[in-house]
Amino acid sequence: MARLDIDVTNIYFRSSRVYIGTTPAIIGTPALSNRKFLTIINFGTANLFVGSSGLTITGYPYYPGQSDTLRIGPSVRIFGITQSGSIDVRYQEGS
End-to-end CA distance of the chain: 19
**pLDDT tens readout for residues 34-47:** 899 999 999 999 99
Res. 58 pLDDT band, cuts 50 70 90: confident
Per-residue confidence (pLDDT) for residue 4, from 0 to 100: 53
For the sheet containing 60-62, what is the strand order?
Answer: 25-27, 78-81, 48-51, 60-62
Instruction: Check if the beta carbon of residue 92 is closer than 8 Å to that of residue 15.
Output: yes
